[in-house]
Chains A and B, each alone.
Chain A
Amino acid sequence: MMPSPPLSGFGRYADPALVIMTSLAEGPKHGYAIIKDIEAMGGPVLRPGTLYGALVRLEHRGVVEPLRTQERRRPYQLTEKGVAVLTAQLAHVEHVAAIGRARLAAG
């Protein structure tokens, strides 16, 4: 049986957290750059309240860390733990997707 996904305790912030980590996998970004990058990826449109709800949770779990503020904007980057969490979460998503594809093919 597959273990629980790392973001299972995030509630409604699980999906935003995943796309935020995916965006930060490319390198440090501030809030507005994260939102635009996620839109370019074809992900959900994140509004500021949701973005910061997810960012606060990610920071307090040591998944992302803030960098120095630049003109009122503060960039964030993935930590080593964040890379591990993102890797595990993506593996979980791929596992579910593989099962889904196999069942569709069988049906």
Chain B
Amino acid sequence: MWRLATRAVVRLYPEWWRSRYGEEFLALLDESGSGPGYLLDALRGAADARLGGDRGESLDSCQRVALGSALCAAAALAPIAALFLRVPESARLVDAAGRQPLVALSLAVVMLGVVATAVFALSGTVMVCILALREARRTHTQGLKAALAAVGVGVLLLIVAEAVLGVSYASLAQAQRQAETTTVAREVAVGVWAALCVLGIAMSAAGLRRAARRTHFAIEDARTAGALARAITWSAGIVLAGSVVWGAAMLIEAPGALTPLNAVAWLAMETVAAVALVPSGISLGRCRRSGHLVESARP
């Protein structure tokens, strides 16, 4: 079983690697031992081959830490979207806002936080695309350009999703005042929003995979990886800042809008994301001092 699993891992190596080393590597696997250690070793080798590009480059240690921790931070931020889907704020808040000016002001602050989050998230994603596109132009990497086109479509879908959410919430407030079918409208709005978000992310991932298959796309060298690490770190930081604005506004101005579980989960995820960003920031600082990122960002 372990041997079969290890042989299957060969599919995770880049295509250029498989066409050059695949057959002899499989022959070696047939002769060698097997077990979880062999499987993990092959997985690590696949990750190295993907990150090292077709010249077998090793990432600089600070770039490796920066890229890894920035990706961890981005992964930690992803569940925040799922959490916000469960915030039971609308009915109580909108109802109270109609009667009390102070609650109406609080609601305005919360909505400002929501808008800030959306703007920060989108501008962060756009920043990733701009930096990566600049890098693609510098290195003339067709695969990276194709991948960015796919990511761009995904980002557009996310923008549409945010617009749908905003319009739906606006109509929801109107319906709330008229005591009409608010629950169904809210669920539909959230459902459309979530579906578009998932579709956008899936399209981005599929586009990246297509581009990888067609052009043997891999992170070309350590300098490209450094530039991407910086972009991801900045965008993750910006998204984190946006969600802090929203979450803090919720906790301070409308504590009743969050359940204790919502609040604890939100704080935990913010902490994880912030802690994950710290090593990334430190490593990027080292990279900048050693000149790698200055070189890659400003060719």
* Chain A residues in the interface with B (C-beta under 8 A): 9-11, 13, 30-32, 35, 47-53, 55-57, 59-61, 69, 71-74
Pick 15 A–B contacts, CB within 8 A, sort by A.
A32-B31, A47-B38, A48-B6, A49-B45, A50-B41, A51-B28, A52-B21, A52-B25, A52-B28, A53-B48, A53-B49, A57-B52, A69-B23, A72-B24, A72-B26
Query: How many B residues, CB 8 Å from partner?
Result: 28
Across-interface contacts of A60 in B (CB, < 8 A):
55-56
Q: Are B38 and A48 in contact (CB under 8 A)?
A: yes
B158 at the interface (CB under 8 A from A): no
Q: Are A73 and B21 in contact (CB under 8 A)?
A: no
Specify which of A10, A30, A72 lies most central, judged by the most chain B CB atoms within 10 Å of its CB: A72
> Cα distance A61–B57 when bound, in Å?
10
Q: Are B56 and A35 in contact (CB under 8 A)?
A: no
B183 at the interface (CB under 8 A from A): no
Q: Provided the pairs A57-B56, A57-B58 are in contact, do residues A52 and B32 lie with their beta carbons within 8 angstroms? A: no
> Cα distance A56–B45 when bound, in Å?
11
Q: Provided the pairs A11-B61, A49-B42, A52-B21 are in contact, do residues A59 and B56 lie with their beta carbons within 8 angstroms? A: yes
B177 at the interface (CB under 8 A from A): no
> Cα distance A9–B221 when bound, in Å?
13
B27 at the interface (CB under 8 A from A): yes
> Cα distance A55–B31 when bound, in Å?
18
Which residues of chain B from 48 to 106 have any CB-CB distance to chain A below 8 Å in the complex?
48-49, 52, 55-56, 58-59, 61
